[in-house]
Structures are given as C-alpha cells and as structure tokens.
Structure 1
Amino acid sequence: MTMTLSRAGVILTAGLLTGAAAATVASPAQAADATPTFASTNTATWDGNLLKVTFRETGAKPWSTGLVSIRATGTVDVVCIGGGVSLTSQASSETEVVSEHKADGNGVRAGEQVAGFSVQPPVITGLDCKPTLARSFSVTVQDLSTGAVQTLAGPASNTGKTS
C-alpha cells in the first residue's frame, strides 16, 4: 500500500515494506540541490541616521519574486563622568522594512535597502559633564519566501562598513 500526500510544494510518500514504514520527502529546493543562503560578503552600515543594507542570496527559485525583510535594532549608550560621579544610560529603537526583490535566472536574489533610522540619545541631567556616545546596531536580513536568514552587526560609523 502506498499513500502520497502533497502540501505546499512538499511531497510525502509512505509505503509499507514487510511490516515497516518508509518515508521519502522531496521538495523543489532539494531537487535543485540549492539551499537558499545569504553571501558572507553582505554588508550593513549605520551612521546614526541612515541604515544601508546590501545583500546577495543564492538558491532562490530562478526569476521568482520574494519579500525580503530588513529588521534593525539600534542602540545608543551614553556615559557621563563629572565630579567623581559616573552616570550611564541607554536608548534603543527598532525598525523593519519589507520589500520585493526578484531573483535572476540563476536563482540569485540581490538588492540594497536604504532606510532613515535614528535613535534619540538619552539626556543626562543634574551632572556637569560632557556625555560620550557609543552607537551599535544589529540587522536581521530574512527572505520571507525561502527562509534564508542572516544577522549583521557592529558599531555605527560615519565612514566604515560593518559586516
């Protein structure tokens, strides 16, 4: 006896062989032997006001259009030292941009996303000092159609790239 179930592009075939059950799972991605993955050369930069993410993914279905989510968390740490006293404070914010990107004939989905993104630094009052700010961020890039995910992080910079 053989039973075949098909759901969301996955075919399950189960058969009885001398009292034992055997199962086979096949999907279009497995058939092409291409697991969707993001390139190690992807970059994210944040200058405190503007977030820029450049990505390249391989293993998508050729010519397919997929939604890519760029989710970022920015953090600002403030340290203020004066009169023998040290105060620290932190503020953070999150943003997400989702947009369509089309894969080429080889299944490569590449793109760039730029978004305005800032975190208001906390204000320290009651202490005569000059605050020092340190900005950092984390970005999660996810192809919502293939499931590929990558996280990029680093300090905010006006000139450098962070990957």
Structure 2
Amino acid sequence: MTPFEQLPYRPCVGVVLVNRDGLVFIGRRAEDRNEPVDATHAWQMPQGGIDEGESPEEAALRELYEETNVRSVEPLAVAPDWFAYDLPEPIARKAWKGRYRGQMQKWVALRFTGPDSEIDVHRPGGGKHKPEFGDWRWERLGRTPGLIIPFKRPVYEKVVAAFEPVLAATR
C-alpha cells in the first residue's frame, strides 16, 4: 500500500457562483452522502473532478450544471493558484478507491445571470444527476470558511482572499 503522504491529489475545480447582490451560492450536502459532517459544517460551494482533456473553466461549467442545474452564467475570474486539501486518512483510503490523498482545486468565479428558479438542487443537470445538495442559499463569501467541514477550511480561506477583491469590484 502506498504511504498516505505519497498519494497524489485528485485534480478538481471549485465554483464561486455570485448573484447580482454579490452573494455566493452554497449548498447543504445531501443527507445520504457518506461524509463526516454536522449541521453547521454541511455547507459548501459546488466542486468536482476535472475530466480528461477538460479545462478547469469547462469543468466548472459542467460541475455547476450537474450539481445545481445552472447554465446562465458569465465568467468573472479564475484563481491564480491551485488550492489543495488532504482528506483525513481513513476517509481518503475509502474515497476514490484510495487513489488520492485529497483534492487539488482550481477555483472559478462565475456571475449568475438567471432567475433563482433556475437553481434546482433536487433535479440537477435536468434530472440526470444524483443530487449533491439537499438545500441551498445565498451567503456572503467571507462567511463560507465557517460553514465548511474543517479539513477544507484553509482552502475556503484562500478562496475568500482570492475572490473578495473580484466581488468588491463587481458590486
């Protein structure tokens, strides 16, 4: 078995979806997800793997649709760096068949241009994808690190630092 510290990171994308009021989409993880979360830390922004041959921007659009049903967006910014987090080792050994120690994420900010009714976390991707979220809301970006599962918090702090100036400039 490969030592945990030598496992690679899974290449992923994270999405900061911003509404007209400068608030960001957060979803509460679906209750049937096998992740160690409590009610306070069950919230996160959309994220997911980058497919072979796919750019982070393409992955962001695909993942956003697959998790929220949203397609009405305009690009705002891409984080200049990749942000990584490690899963706790027992979880990492089960997730993704133990091939990765965590995720290396490229974050993309998108402006939501549609009506809130376009968001459908219960039938995402036109009903073709299993729901990732059981509920959703708009939230201030700066509050998101306190809502995320603690092992992902440092990444969310970097996301806030990278995108707060972008959000401030677009208000």
TM range (shorter): under 0.3
> Which has the larger share of strand?
1
> Which has the larger share of helix?
2
Q: TM-score, normalized by length of structure 2?
A: 0.22
**Higher RCO (C-alpha under 8 Å, 6+ residues apart):** 2
Larger radius of gyration: 1
Q: TM-score, normalized by length of structure 1?
A: 0.23
